[in-house]
Amino acid sequence: MPRPHLWGLCLAFLGIACLTVTCGQSDSPKPDPDTQRSTRDTGLPYCQRLTVPVQVRERTSSWTKNDDTGEWEETWGAWQDVGKDVRAASAQDCLKIIPRVPSDAALPDLVMKQLNGCGKTELKISGGDCFSIVNPAPYVKAFPDLEGKKLLFFPIVVLNLGDGPSEIIADRSAKDAEDWRAYQTFYTARGKRLGSVRQPNVEFYFAGDEHDHWHVRDFDDYYLLDHQDQQVRVAEKHGYCMQDNTTYDPMKGQPGVPPEPGVYLEKTSCGKGLPAALTIIHGLSKGWGDTYPTELPDQAIDITGVPDGTYTIWVQADSRSAVTESNEANNSTSMKITITGDEVTTHPSTVRGGIP
């Protein structure tokens, strides 16, 4: 009796197996369409707010079964424009590094508002003197060391009265790196961007004053001086974020002075809410100022243990020369005050420096 041909059986077996697999594939459900999204830059970076305009595009796939293999094959449709958006600008987008300040640059000029002038909120809190004492200071999560201290509160306003903006852009290599590199960007009087010069004296840290943003370290100095102009106390304030939040009425309407709400806004300046930011910007437009009000828990000098008496409050903007200005000699202002227990009296006639 002849034996079956084993090779033929094997082929037949394999054929059945293949048919079984193919049948299984033909029964598989049709996959859902996929959607891809992409963006492409459509304009120049708006570096004052660290954004770049982009066109958003999408494409969607469709699935067709291959009759020969029984497999579903994906085919992509054409890209379609679906809207406009912005992306975050990087330092690479916004920096054209140059070796020195251009001769035709419109320079900023940072000036302190005099200490005997303040807004309605501070006037109400202080009873009309702009200064107030809180004793003992309440617990604040961001500044636990201030709890129970005797604190002298007062607002300060830094104004840019120069011909151009004060703009600092900084970047770093990684989200946990401390190797910030800061650059000051210069413009012509007509607003043309000329380039950016490295500012090696600028350091940053993320913390403080419950604003959740990056600060320029030691930008301002606040001192309490005795009758011999000897330093008695230094302010708790150690950092500063430059942003447009206060108008300077005498310069309203001048060429180059932005209308409200200004250019360097709180929500886009100083890496607001972005502790992992790789690029940040600080800025003060021409004719604009930045107010640090007394409501901030660290906007104060710790005067615990300081005897009653008459003292001088002395404040200076840009104490580390982080910003190149047209006039470096007009950054400070001072005024005498008298401390009596938990009361403070100002002496406006003793104001020196600053802008009314």
Q: Examine the domain organization and report whether 224 and 295 are in the same domain.
A: yes
Domain boundary among 61, 89, 117: 89
Distance of CA 343 to the CA centre of its chain: 36
Do 133 and 265 fall into the same domain? yes
**Tally of CB atoms within 10 A around 42:** 13
Range of the domain at 127: 92-353
DSSP single-letter state for residue 30:
P
- Residue whose C-alpha is closest to residue 160's, from 18, 287, 47, 246: 287
Residue 198 phi, psi dihedral angles, 5° rounding: -65, 135
Say which residues have a Cβ less than 8 Å from residue 128's Cβ, sequence separation at least 6.
Answer: none
Identify whether residues 69 and 172 lie together within a single domain. Answer: no
Q: Are 36 and 59 in contact (CB under 8 A)?
A: yes
What's the Cα-to-Cα distance from 301 to each of 123, 213, 238, 306, rounded to whole Å? 18, 22, 11, 11
Residue 157 included in any domain: yes
Number of structural domains, the chain? 2
Alpha helices in 95-203 (DSSP H): 120-126
Listed residues 72, 89, 106: the one ending a domain = 89
Measured CA to CA in angstroms, residue 63 lies from 26, 38, 66, 68, 111 at distances of 13, 21, 10, 15, 66
Asked if residue 149 is part of any domain, the answer here is: yes
Tell me the one-letter amino acid at 170.
A
Residues 157 and 245 in one domain: yes
Residue 256, CB-side half-sphere exposure with 13 Å CA sphere: 20
Q: Answer whether residue 333 is part of any domain.
A: yes
**Residue 335 sits in the same domain as residue 199:** yes
94 vs 77: CA distance, rounded Å: 35
CA dist 38 and 237 (Å) reads: 44
Beta-carbon neighbour count of residue 49 at 10 Å? 17
Instruction: Please indicate, yes or no, whether residues 66 and 40 belong to a single structural domain of this protein.
Output: yes
Residues 168 and 283 in one domain: yes
- 46 located within any domain: yes
Task: For residue 256, tell me if it sits in a domain.
Answer: yes
Q: Does 120 fall in a domain? A: yes
**The domain boundary residue, chosen from 24, 54, 89:** 89
> ∠95-99-101 over CA atoms, to 5°?
85
Regions of the chain with pLDDT less than 50: 1-25
Q: Rounded to an integer, what distance in angstroms lies between the CA atom of residue 309 and that of residue 337? A: 8
Tell how strand 151-153 and strand 80-88 pair up: unpaired
Which residues share a beta bridge with 64? Answer: 73
Separation in Å, CA 217 to CA 203, 320, 351: 5, 9, 27
Record the pTM: 0.83
User: Residue 117: its pLDDT value, please?
Assistant: 87
Q: Are residues 186 and 51 in the same domain?
A: no
| Structure confidence at residue 20 (pLDDT) | 36
Q: Please indicate, yes or no, whether residues 278 and 154 belong to a single structural domain of this protein.
A: yes
Q: What is the pLDDT of residue 99?
A: 96
Same domain for 298 and 331?
yes
Q: Are residues 203 and 103 in the same domain?
A: yes
Let me know if residue 26 belongs to a domain: no
Based on the fold, state whether residues 85 and 150 are members of the same structural domain: no
In a domain, 273, yes or no: yes
Predicted pLDDT of residue 5: 42
